[in-house]
Amino acid sequence: MILHRLFIVGLTGFVIARSPIEVRSNTTEGVNGTNLDLIPRLEPLSYVKTDLLNIAYYEAGPPDGQVVILLHGWPYDINSYIDVAPDLASDGFRVIVPYLRAYGPTTFVDPGTFRSGQQAALGADIIALMDALSIPKAIFAGYDWGGRGACVAAALWPERCSGLVSVNSYLIQDLSIAWVPLVPAIEAGFWYFYYFLTPRGVAGLTENFKELARVVWTKNSPVWNFTESDLDRAATTYNNPDYVDVVVHCYRVRLLYAPADPRYAELEAQLLLQPPITVPAVTLDGLEDGNFPATNGSSSAKYFTGPRVHHEVPGAGHNLPQEQPTAFADAVREVATL
């Protein structure tokens, strides 16, 4: 009820305008002339069709190994797992690393499908991927958008989840407090939430997708010396016709400034209850995260009702699997034993 009222107020107080989306070129040459062939990428990719998506994913490891699905964040891509994926594959895991909806070569099947970035969609996509690949159960591991999708899927489909690795612990947004402010120092890091509410932010993301990512990466990971090629490799995957729509929707809907996709209404109603994670979980916080301060895990303990171990990871910012790949891979190995 309250949610509905807030949403109406939000909508009527605001004109939601969109600029046309520019379709960018698709080459192996990076945005800044970097030759991306010079740095490794997770490839070749495979493709599988779900009800809504044609999902591009990287796969490694023995086909009969325990499945782990590695989920990337924004504004990043599957190559956050460039070191984690081969590490786990050589340890006997069957590793699946999908491009999330609207990233890289993952596309929508139907041009009419709502380009949603809401949290229920991110979770449901994981289950749809597993169904399409006939995978009954997997470990879900991720950070940022990918960690959110992992938490949603683990909470709503525990029978499909053998364990969860989540950077920043419990990531299911509580939309009932969407308009409650955080402390200003934290709000300052979330400038893009508010930018994306405006036509100016939509144009900015469309035109400056790479430089915007550079700003977010630098703030998220102050001690990570990423290279121009690292950034180019990721930015090339924002060359997806739905990238701007889905990113903008993701941040608008979490502030109740955009309608949600009605297809997920029932799932969102469950998420509003902040469901517990009952499966075994390992949670990680990067001690050098510049935007999401590390915790000792105590404040999120109430959401984890199964076995749960929390680690603070030195030398890691927000893109933890790329910055401290061994710590991330170790968390997957650990959750498999809980």
Site membership for ligand NAG, residue 228 (CB under 6 A): yes
Residue among 122 and 284 whose Cβ is closer to ligand NAG = 284
Alpha-helical runs (H) found in 157-264: 184-189, 191-195, 199-207, 209-220, 228-235, 243-254
Residues with Cβ within 8 Å of residue 22, at least 6 apart in sequence: 206, 207
Residue among 32 and 46 whose Cβ is closer to ligand NAG = 32
Helix axes 119-132, 145-156, angle to 10 degrees: 70
Residues with Cβ within 8 Å of residue 299, at least 6 apart in sequence: none
DSSP string, 21-46: PPPPP--SB-TTS-BGGGS----SEE
Identified binder of ligand NAG from the candidate list 65, 86, 105, 158, rule CB under 6 A: 105
Residue among 134 and 298 whose Cβ is closer to ligand NAG = 298
Q: Which of residues 10-39 bind ligand NAG (CB under 6 A)?
A: 26, 32
Taking the complex as a whole, the smallest distance from the CB of residue 219 to ligand NAG amounts, in Å, to: 16
Residue among 3 and 223 whose Cβ is closer to ligand NAG = 223
Q: What would you measure as the largest C-alpha separation in the chain, in angstroms? A: 54
| Helix (H) / strand (E) containing 151 | helix 145-156
Q: Which stretch, 9-17, 117-125, 189-197, 223-231, contacts ligand NAG (CB under 6 A)?
A: 223-231
Give the total of residues touching ligand NAG (CB under 6 A): 9
Residue among 10 and 104 whose Cβ is closer to ligand NAG = 104
Q: Which of residues 232-251 bind ligand NAG (CB under 6 A)?
A: none
Cis peptide leading into residue 44 (ω within 30°): yes
* Positions in the binding site for ligand NAG (CB under 6 A): 26, 32, 105, 223, 225, 228, 296, 298-299
